[in-house]
Amino acid sequence: MSYYTDYYDQTCPTYMGNGAVKQLGISAEEKGLKKLLIVTDPFIVQSYIMDRVKSSLDDHDIAYVIYSDINSDPLDTKVYEATELAKKEKVDGIVGVGGGSSLDGAKSICILTTNPGPLSKYYGNTDYDPCIPLFMVPTTTGTGSENTVFSVISDTQTGTKKVPYKAADLAICDPELTRDLPPDLTASTGMDAFAHAAETMTGLIQCPKTDALCGFGIQLLIKYMPIAVEDGTNIEARENLMIASNLIGIGFGVMGCHIGHAIGQCIGAKYHTAHGISCAWPLPATMEYAAVSEPEKVKLVADYMGLDYPEDISNEGIGKLVSDAISAFMKRIHVKPMSAYGITREGLIDIADIVMADNCWPVIPRELTKPELEELLGKVYDSYQG
């Protein structure tokens, strides 16, 4: 049985709106910073996005050095590389610019810039000395990482994903920076936000703030994700997706995700698929699983999705209704199935052991044995065929 908590907060101040990236240089100057490490990826560093980031810093005479080798689902080895650069350049602040991988990488780099390694010392805790200021500039609308403490890193020693904890000092959410996000990444990152919301609302630990933020976020995703997938230049859709991602990030940052993300993170670790799509695939079956013990919360997800159902619908019925509706939505925004990435049903079932060791496993709303999990993994594969 799930339980409620009345504790919640927000990790950092947030600027939201078109042109908000101009605030980066202003805030860096206000904090007396002289030189920043910009953590990003190879695509961003060549884009107009980096031009706007640089312009904001140049306008306020803030120097910077760029680390642009962050990969999808960032490796701990990249974190170590960037940390050495930060120390060598004697930076006094860090800014993550990009999707969740860049933001998560920046968090871990920030920890190690002023604290001794290895990174594994900080998995799941904040037992470290104060860090230099950390700014977040998201360029996708999925993780909400700018307002969470989670830094999801691929541990090359164990082949699994681990989570150091680090909050940012400031988030700058500028929808204009997402206008060139391609349709497949718009869909993938948006579905990551959807999974955050639906899992958090149906997890072991629940909170009224979570329901409000995540539920409203689902409403925005349902309305605006298809628009943004079809027309990336629609700034109204882009702005609403950024709002949804950010609000859901605040919501799930309080409670955390459960079985869907445990599965998704392990898919990503084994098959190196993007985090968003890896967490989208399990979502339909996750809602069927959650409906057994949390039918009222799955009904709440259905309500925010705008679905109709009879008052006397069974637990199984509401789970199937939401599952089918999410699958149909994923098809509408052209999410490809696992088979398109070379993942087989048997290969998916084979990840059961690492799923049960995932950091999201402790908050699943209903206990599962390994055979039950293997059955669920088979359902995950079968429930979305694209």
- pTM confidence score: 0.92
Residue 6 has pLDDT above 50, yes or no: no
Cβ-count burial 218-235 (b if 16+ within 10 Å, e if not):
bbbbbebbbbbbeebebe
- The mean pLDDT value for 43-56 works out to 96
- Specify the range with the lowest mean pLDDT, choosing from 20-34, 63-77, 148-162, 347-361: 148-162
Reference 165, options 204, 203, 119; nearest CA is: 119
308 and 373 belong to one structural domain: yes
**Domain total for the chain?**
2
**DSSP string for residues in 111-161:** HHHHS-S-GGGGBT---S-----EEEEE-SSS--GGG-SB--EEETTTTEE
225 and 363 belong to one structural domain: yes
335 and 280 belong to one structural domain: yes
The answer to the question of residue 4 being in a domain is no
211 and 162 belong to one structural domain: no
CATH number at residue 365: 1.20.1090.10
Please, is 366 exposed, middle or buried when counting C-beta atoms within 10 Å of its C-beta (0-12, 13-18, 19+)? Answer: middle
CATH number at residue 60: 3.40.50.1970
203-258 confidence digits (pLDDT tens): 988 788 889 999 999 999 999 999 999 999 999 999 999 999 999 999 887 778 99
In the chain, pLDDT over 90 holds for what percent of residues?
84
Tokens representing 13 are 């101040």
The answer to the question of residue 42 being in a domain is yes
The answer to the question of residue 2 being in a domain is no
User: Coil, strand or helix: which one is 160?
Assistant: strand
**Structural domain of 93:** 9-178
91 and 226 belong to one structural domain: no
The answer to the question of residue 1 being in a domain is no
Q: Which of 124, 145, 178 is the last residue of a domain?
A: 178
16 and 143 belong to one structural domain: yes
Per-residue confidence band for 121, with pLDDT thresholds at 50, 70 and 90: very high
Tokens representing 53 are 């980031």
101 and 188 belong to one structural domain: no
168-211 confidence digits (pLDDT tens): 999 999 999 999 999 999 999 999 999 999 999 999 887 888 89
120 and 222 belong to one structural domain: no
The answer to the question of residue 344 being in a domain is yes
90 and 226 belong to one structural domain: no
244-295 confidence digits (pLDDT tens): 999 999 988 777 899 999 999 999 888 989 889 999 999 999 999 999 999 9
Q: Which of 148, 178, 208 is the last residue of a domain?
A: 178
Give the containing element (helix H, strand E) for 86.
helix 76-89
157 and 202 belong to one structural domain: no
Instruction: Output the average pLDDT for the chain.
Output: 93
Q: Which of 132, 157, 178 is the last residue of a domain?
A: 178
Tokens representing 316 are 């199984």
Reference 29, options 69, 56, 55, 3; nearest CA is: 56
The answer to the question of residue 238 being in a domain is yes
44 and 108 belong to one structural domain: yes
